[in-house]
Amino acid sequence: MGHKYLWTALCLWAFMCTLLHASSDGLLRVGLKKRQLDRDSIKAARSSKVDSKYVKAGLGDSDIDTVSLTNYLDAQYYGEIGVGSPSQKFTVIFDTGSSNLWVPSSKCYFSIACWLHPKYKSKKSSTYIANGKRVSINYGSGSVSGFLSQDSVEVGDLLIKDQVFIETTKEGSLSFVVAKFDGILGLGFQEISVGNVVPPWYNMVEQGLVKEKVFSFWLNRDADAEEGGELVFGGVDPKHFKGKHTYVPITDKGYWQFDMGDFLIGNMSTGYCDGGCSAIVDSGTSLLAGPTNIVTQINHAIGAEGIVSMECKQVVSEYGEMIWDLLVSGLGPDAVCSQIGLCFSNGKDQHVSSIIKTVVEKAGQEEASSKDDLGCTACELLVSWISTQLKQEGTKDSVLSYVNQLCESFPSPMGESAIDCNSLSKMPNITFTIGKKAFSLSPEQYVLKTGEGAATICLSGFIALDVPPPKGPLWILGDVFMGVYHTVFDYGNLQLGFAESA
């Protein structure tokens, strides 16, 4: 009997030591949940939330609060929050590409997604305050709608009082049905907040819950690791990165947007960012999204096989030489496609499809005009590619052969481009220049793997997404990039910091 009490005491002592260790550095950690990876799941993860649209303190600082993130398929990172009193728990994506908090409502009756996830019950919260204003949010993969409410929100050990959020009553996308998260907590600027709602991060700062106006992301890309990553509010964790951060200023408050320099495939500049490019860091986007013309070149260079290429190759065959001759003669690139009749002028010195639409949009169109639109899009792509090659003084035959090969790497309707898993060692690094410093991704870092053994499938981490002016063209550096580079979101100084992840 004495041994039994002694064993119980030892177990209790060990448990208390574990608790003390977990809280001694002020960080909250939760183990990684694992799930079998398959191709259908990766497609859902690629499109979830997605295309909407990124300091200094010691570990022992009580003003730093950490939220553990769960890694789902290297494509969704989510953590737990609480809403109401007593707290009702939800898993949310912490999304720097949007600015609202939403969770499913108990009044959501007709959306399948709501029946598969926890629902907020306002009647069970003593701190609930009614609002009722109707709102909706459109994401790249679908939309949610509902009404505003106000309540307390727990994020880690922080308690945000009087936070206005959205109770969703309709979630109109299959992505939300298969998603491992219940809702989204936006960490973008109030300028893009639906309903001009004050974002949770703003209230953390205003209510004095954080010492530094900084939060930072560490995403763990190790598939075998127990931790999915951590989001630190109020500072940075020095264990999350190596060396020093490179900081760049925010250029447009809304998304976490900055100016990016040259873009290289291997050691060769693409010429696409000679005059600079705009980019945003978006923790809610799984992949690396960029303009269709440059993503096609990347997929070609890494041997990825796209699906929608027939129209592109046909335009090369029928109009390639004409496009070359017009560009050599000095005709401006914006006028070439209307000159040969593939695009039509709108009377404002622009042709109808001067803003290249995404392949996803093109594939989804079933009207008779879709083929003509795709021909215009293909022409614009060819003009862009040939213009770049002209700067490098390539011959007509070699350039037309090259762009014909690019057509074969045109992204598929879901942005999915398959890669031979045995060819990773032969693929080039892809490099972004940020703050005059090179940030490279190796093939192992930008390729997503699914399955095991002979059933393993490799997919390109690059997806085509054309953001129209005035916001675009725009690069979206999602989790593929953030998994390699620890990212600091410095709200106080309006800047972003990047360093190699530890």
> Quick one: how far is CA 127 from the chain centroid?
34
- Is 282 annotated in the active site? yes
**Strand ranges (E), 192-320:** 214-219, 229-233, 241-249, 252-253, 256-260, 263-265, 268-269, 277-281, 288-290
- Is 252 annotated in the active site? no
Alpha-carbon distance of 394 to 386, in angstroms, equals: 9
Alpha-carbon distance of 418 to 305, in angstroms, equals: 6
> Quick one: how far is CA 478 from the chain centroid?
3
Residues with Cβ < 8 Å from 371, sequence gap 6 or more?
A: 311
Cis peptide before 473 (omega within 30 of 0): yes
**Residue among 282, 373, 466, 479 flagged as catalytic:** 282
Alpha-carbon distance of 382 to 330, in angstroms, equals: 16
Residues with Cβ < 8 Å from 50, sequence gap 6 or more?
A: 139, 140, 141, 175, 284, 285, 286
Tell which residue, 306, 293, 295, has the closest CA to residue 382.
Answer: 293
Encoding tokens for residue 26?
């002020």
Residues with Cβ < 8 Å from 13, sequence gap 6 or more?
A: none
Give me the DSSP letters along 14-75: HHHHHHHHHHHTS----PPP-----HHHHHHHHHSS-TT------TT-TT-EEEEEEEETTT
Strands 76-83 and 65-72: antiparallel
Please identify which residue in the block is written with the tokens 């914006």: 334
Please identify which residue in the block is written with the tokens 């609060």: 65
**Residue among 95, 151, 182, 373 flagged as catalytic:** 95
Tell which residue, 29, 40, 384, 367, has the closest CA to residue 226.
Answer: 29
Active site residues: 95, 282
